[in-house]
Amino acid sequence: MKPLPQSMVVIAIGLTAAAVGLHPVTANVARADAARPLAIVANPGLGVRDIAFSTLRRVFSGEATEVSGHRLIPLNPPAKDDTRRRFDLAVLQLQPDMIGPYWVDRRLRGQNGPPKTVPDSALLLTVVERLAGAISYVDVGMVTTKVEVLTVDGKPHTDRNYALR
């Protein structure tokens, strides 16, 4: 039997990976992204450079929160976004299957609902840039100079003890 040309082997591997929901390149990128910290980003007009982890938890768990006289407006990426899953685990300490019941319970108790969701990270950064009081989180690779990157408990995302690694 004659061996397949290398290009055919690569195509076959790619098709097999796609059939089971994986793409070799995408899988590697996802693993690399998961290793990068999340950056907390805020509207530059907020005038804040640092946020306490406890404040971050309060604002994203639905509690009305003010910092430096500004009411924070939390914004989430889409529910299926890996960045959101990582944030929910690290900050809210909730597994993906517990997020929905958490927010339903809050609504039933007459408490605030979840942060608004923005459909993609690029648009999320634009909204944070333009909306006074806006705060969110993105993979550090997405950060632009048009938003303020906050430290958390005085630690930048480059610190090995940063809370969102």
Question: Given this model, what pLDDT does residue 34 score?
Answer: 54
Q: Mark whether 53 and 96 lie in a shared domain.
A: yes
158: nearest Cα among 29, 126, 6, 149: 149
Q: Mark whether 135 and 75 lie in a shared domain.
A: yes
User: For residue 79, is it within any domain?
Assistant: yes
Q: Mark whether 54 and 79 lie in a shared domain.
A: yes
> What is residue 123's three-state secondary structure?
helix
Q: Mark whether 31 and 43 lie in a shared domain.
A: no
**Do residues 120 and 77 make contact, with C-beta atoms less than 8 angstroms apart?**
yes
Alpha helices in 40-164 (DSSP H): 53-60, 82-87, 96-108, 121-130
Q: Mark whether 41 and 31 lie in a shared domain.
A: no
Q: Mark whether 58 and 122 lie in a shared domain.
A: yes
Q: Mark whether 96 and 28 lie in a shared domain.
A: no
CATH of the domain at 132: 3.40.190.10
Q: Mark whether 85 and 114 lie in a shared domain.
A: yes
Q: Mark whether 123 and 70 lie in a shared domain.
A: yes
User: For residue 118, is it within any domain?
Assistant: yes
* pTM of the entire predicted model: 0.78
Q: Which domain holds residue 21?
A: 1-35
User: For residue 162, is it within any domain?
Assistant: no
Q: Mark whether 98 and 148 lie in a shared domain.
A: yes
Question: How many domains does the chain contain in total?
Answer: 2
User: For residue 159, is it within any domain?
Assistant: no
Determine the Cα–Cα distance for residues 97 and 86; give it in Å rounded to an integer. 13
Question: Given this model, what pLDDT does residue 13 score?
Answer: 35
User: For residue 117, is it within any domain?
Assistant: yes
Joined together, the tokens standing for residue 81 give: 């976004």
Q: Mark whether 11 and 83 lie in a shared domain.
A: no
Question: Given this model, what pLDDT does residue 131 score?
Answer: 97
User: For residue 121, is it within any domain?
Assistant: yes
User: For residue 161, is it within any domain?
Assistant: no
User: For residue 164, is it within any domain?
Assistant: no
Q: Mark whether 23 and 69 lie in a shared domain.
A: no
Q: Which residues pair with 73 in a beta bridge?
A: 134
**Do residues 78 and 117 make contact, with C-beta atoms less than 8 angstroms apart?**
yes
Tens-binned pLDDT, residue by residue, of the chain (165 aa): 444 343 333 333 333 334 434 333 333 334 444 579 999 999 999 999 999 999 999 999 999 999 989 999 999 999 999 999 999 999 999 999 999 999 999 999 999 999 999 999 999 999 999 999 999 999 999 999 999 999 999 999 999 999 999
